[in-house]
Amino acid sequence: MTQRRTILLTALGAPFVPGKGRAQGSTGGTAPFPSRPVRIVLPYAPGGQSDTVARLIAPRMAAVLGQSVVVENRTGAGGSIGAGLVAGAPADGHILLFDTPSILIVPFAVKDLPFDYERDLVPLGMAVSQPYVLGVTGAFPARDVAGLVAHGRTGKSIGFGTPGVGSIGHLAGALLGHRAGIAMEHVAYRGGADAARDLAAGNLEAAVITPNSLDLVVQTGRARALGQTSERPSPLLPGIPTIASAGLPGFDLTSWNAAFVRAGTPEPVMEALDRAFRAAVDNPEVQEAFRRMGGEPGQESRAVFGERLVRERALVRDIVQRTGITF
């Protein structure tokens, strides 16, 4: 544990001391905001969906703020390297974290973090949300979620692929197994596209991945989409029922991309960032790009998104406790 903590502290570049580095009125009187380029820290590798979303909104935010907005990929330690960089920065609004629901899961997966996600980071807003989709290989005997559950209740373990440990797909598969009383064996991949390829090849029975990752192999007939993980069906996924509708009421796990800032950031700065962020997300071209990816543009205010985080933290904690899921 001590060694892991030392490595993480070194990667963050400096010891993290809660409360240090917070703005002391530097943005309130003389220095206008932003006074230099704004950095969006992304704790994931380039090329994925989160990276694509961040790079769609960055130039639109820059147009409103009148300063450059630069996306930086800082991977490692389950995303906590990038998050720790923002959590330990001055609370002046010049650095943001752009993350996913993994922000709720990392505290269970990475021990002895030198910062606290809930205490040290506050939400700015959601950019886009989307359910994951449960799909099966073309030769799988079940044609719907109820059929998959019936198949599992014969005593057969069902292997399901996801974009990785701690992803929404991982949680959804574990929750499905727990709620339905069937054995779901997690197979972690580096990304949804990799899981989809094995699904299409018949090397994997099932997968819980993003709609755009699954869609390509569904179109070829080598896989089938059985259910979406959100409680309410997404209008962008017509013909795919919810898992909740298959006798599992309340089943609701949705992925999202959202921005966070350092706790203690002055309210005038938060308001400026909020205006720029909302203008970027509300841009028609950006919203169309989101829909092509199978996502719905975020419509929640800062306050409403904050309430979502409280609910989802409690849900993740409950899933971990009830299923015994490990990361």
Query: For 272-282, what is each residue's pLDDT tens digit?
Result: 999 999 999 99
Q: Which of 72, 84, 74, 73 is nearest to 8 (CA)?
A: 84
- 50/9 Cα distance (integer angstroms): 25
Q: Please list the residue range(s) of the chain that carry CATH number 3.40.190.10.
A: 133-246
Superfamily holding 2-13+36-130+255-323: Bordetella uptake gene, domain 1 (3.40.190.150)
Q: Which two tokens stand for residue 116?
A: 């606290």
- Residues 57-88 have pLDDT tens digits of 999 999 999 999 999 999 888 789 999 999 99
| 254-262 vs 95-99, strand pairing mode | antiparallel
Region 133-246: CATH code: 3.40.190.10
- The per-residue pLDDT for 30 is 53
- The per-residue pLDDT for 108 is 86
Residues comprising the chain, all counted: 327
- The per-residue pLDDT for 327 is 74
- The per-residue pLDDT for 278 is 96
The number of beta carbons lying within 10 Å of the beta carbon of residue 220 is 10
**Burial environment of residue 119 by CB neighbours within 10 A (0 to 12, 13 to 18, 19 or more):** exposed
Q: Please list the residue range(s) of the chain that carry CATH number 3.40.190.150.
A: 2-13+36-130+255-323
The DSSP code for 283 is -
- The per-residue pLDDT for 5 is 41
Task: Give the residue ranges of the chain where pLDDT is below 70.
Answer: 1-30
- Residues 250-273 have pLDDT tens digits of 999 999 999 999 999 999 999 999
- 137/134 Cα distance (integer angstroms): 11
Instruction: Return the percentage of the chain with pLDDT > 70, whole number.
Output: 91
